[in-house]
Amino acid sequence: MQAKAQSIIPPKFIPPVKLPPNNNISNISFPNNVPQAISITAPTPEISSPPHQENQTLVDDKIAAFWDYQFLFVSQRSETAEPIKLRIVDGAIPQDFPLGTYYLTGPGLFADDHGSTVHPLDGHGYLRTFKIDGVRGNVEFMARYIRTEAQVEERDPITGRWRFTHRGPFSVLKGGKMVGNTKVMKNVANTSVLRWGGRLFCLWEGGDPYEIDSITLDTIGKFDLINGNHKYLLQDDQNLAPKLDVWDVAAQILKPILYGVFKMPPKRLLSHYKIDARRNRLLIMSCNAEDMLLPRSNFTFYEFDSNFKLMQSQEFNIPDHLMIHDWAFTDSHYILFGNRIKLDVAGSMTAVCGLSPMISALSVNASKPTSPIYLLPRFPNESNEQRNWKIPIEAPSQMWVLHVGNAFENKDENGNALIQIQASGCSYSWFNFQKMFGYDWQSGKLDPSMMNLDQDKSLPHLVQVSINLDAKGICQNCSVNDLNEWTKPSDFPVINQDFSGCKNTFVYAATSSGSRRALPHFPFDTVVKLNTRDKSISTWSTGRRRFIGEPLFVPKGTQEEDDGYLLVVEYAVSTQRCYLVLLDSKLIGKANALVARVEVPRHLNFPMGFHGFWESAEDCGLGN
């Protein structure tokens, strides 16, 4: 029997804040009893908007923007373990919509009951599911926290109160133990979700995935996917193991500290995985914990079939200090965009002492005007390439890659290859480890202005990278251009996953209309559809004071690449409601693109999610 919906702790009402005479948000004095920034919790059902009511004249859009941004990251302590049928407020669920479930994960809790707040990336994982039935025309919703080790430790099961004990990589604790706190690797399983081999997983950027019961959303526990499942790719002509160097010695010194004191796993599993639909394989990647602090990088790639049988694994040792969040693959290569980083000595000292976030130990390395792209041999025994894969291809500009939509390669009759990658990237000058999402770890507040600096192409935007290789695999040319000349701030590029690793025509992404004066770039309020063949661009936008997360493509199962629907969550911050929006992907840009809008009950309103996954009931041969 399934548990009934539960509300762990009632949400709190936020009293009005007195504005200064000049309406300068930086001068606001908050009452002692007002939660600040992301410590704000969801309003009670009687409260429908922030201190400025939607129907009032907004004397200064910066004030409204500040509050809208806070409510986008509102903490939610309520869960529902029993499916709730959602109300359709616009349109109808089409009968040809494939029966299936949309899984969306992301942070759910940013503030405890003892004065500490955490960065959105350190927020406890909160899994949301939307089961869509086109035949019956309804949608059922569930939401539960992932019971990670940190979540179990930090929430009192009797009182329901929270006390953060883990710092997390991006946060410090105000009401908890700061100095000497070695609980850094807070596996919150909040970044992505995967359904594969009949099992459901929530992933994080630095540890094992957590397996979830797909029916009840109960947490089963950690799933040790990669332990022992790796081997070195032999790296020289004599097939000899690499010799020890000074960095190997440094790694041996660091390992007992990182593994033992800070409890870091030897290999950190990345949260972004890939699915090779043609081969019916799951591709995942890990990196070594000690390489976070060393000028070298070890990346291991694993390929599993639909029964989690390991088909192959390879480890690549790269002589560069890199941070990888997302990556790509083709029929012949694993592709890494080498976001260059360096050790910040001063920051590392304060981070180790607990006086600043652990991420303070690192900073971006903008010492070179180019960006490295590593083309790693996926099937080295089948490759005729003579290029040294340790030497990167240098893209002609600095580009910090955030997310990859797709990559594919085409070869001509002479063996020459053209590799194309569709991705989102920003400049090194814009990217800042300690200011992502505008979080200020010193004040515990979110500042929307940090994400809305007017820096043209420094901001995240969509790009197409083209690499020409000759028959020996030697790079002849590398270029980076705006994808379809779309220059507005954008991120979360997605495609029809049936075309992953293959040549695709359509790319969808979240972008900004630029209509909001104080929030011109982020949060996003628009879905953009790019046709890479005819270069056409189509968009669909939300209403005023509404924002969106990552779009997700649901195919109808026909041969047409864009024949399907887009799912996207809409956050109506003015009324504190979340909606699941269904768009006809063929009609993006037209008045009738909206198919249905489904409302989540106010008491279950949730903060912005990160990455989702669609599982059709027929599972399209991708491993049920």
Dihedral of alpha carbons 71, 72, 75, 79, sign: positive
Query: Does 272 show up as a binding residue in the annotation?
Result: no
Query: Does 611 show up as a binding residue in the annotation?
Result: yes
Q: What is the pLDDT of residue 249?
A: 66
Annotate 190-245 with DSSP letters as a single string: -SEEEEETTEEEEE-SSSPPEEE-TTT--EEEE---STT---BPP-STT-PPPPP-
The parts of the chain modelled with pLDDT lower than 70 are 1-60, 176, 228-247, 249-262, 455-457, 619-624
pTM of the model: 0.87
Structure tokens at 581: 């929006």
R_g of the chain computed on alpha carbons: 24
Q: What is the pLDDT of residue 225?
A: 82
| Residue 1 within any structural domain of the chain | no
Q: What is the pLDDT of residue 601?
A: 96
| Residue 281 within any structural domain of the chain | yes
Report the chain's mean pLDDT, rounded to a whole number.
85
Annotate 48-101 with DSSP letters as a single string: -SSSS-TTS--S-HHHHHHHHHHHHT-B--EEEEEEEEPEEEEE---TTSPPEE
Q: What is the pLDDT of residue 226?
A: 80
Q: What is the pLDDT of residue 262?
A: 65
Contact 73, 593 (CB under 8 A): no
CA distances from residue 74 to 34, 248, 568 in whole angstroms, order as listed: 14, 44, 18
Q: DSSP assignment, residue 534? A: T
User: For the chain, how many structural domains are there in total?
Assistant: 1
| Residue 194 within any structural domain of the chain | yes
Ramachandran quadrant class, 434 (left: phi over 0; alpha: psi -120 to 50; beta: rest): alpha
Dihedral of alpha carbons 373, 376, 382, 384, sign: positive
Q: How many helices (H) and strands (E) does the chain have?
A: 4, 39
Query: Does 333 show up as a binding residue in the annotation?
Result: no
To which residue do tokens 């909606």 refer? 579
| Residue 481 within any structural domain of the chain | yes
Nearest of 577, 567, 550, 542 to residue 72 by alpha carbon: 577
Q: What is the pLDDT of residue 245?
A: 66
Q: What is the pLDDT of residue 247?
A: 59
Q: Which amino acid is at 104?
A: L
Helices marked H in 279-344 — which ranges?
Answer: none
Q: What is the pLDDT of residue 385?
A: 86
Residue range(s) defining the domain that contains residue 129: 6-621
pLDDT in tens, 448-488: 988 988 766 689 999 999 999 999 999 999 999 999 999 99
Q: What is the pLDDT of residue 392?
A: 96
pLDDT in tens, 159-205: 999 999 998 899 988 876 777 777 888 899 999 999 999 999 999 99
Q: DSSP assignment, residue 441? A: T
Query: How many angstroms separate the CA atoms of 120 and 134, rounded?
Result: 34
Q: What is the pLDDT of residue 288?
A: 87
| Residue 523 within any structural domain of the chain | yes
Query: How many angstroms separate the CA atoms of 450 and 521, rounded?
Result: 10
CA distances from residue 241 to 118, 289, 385, 387 in whole angstroms, order as listed: 43, 21, 21, 19
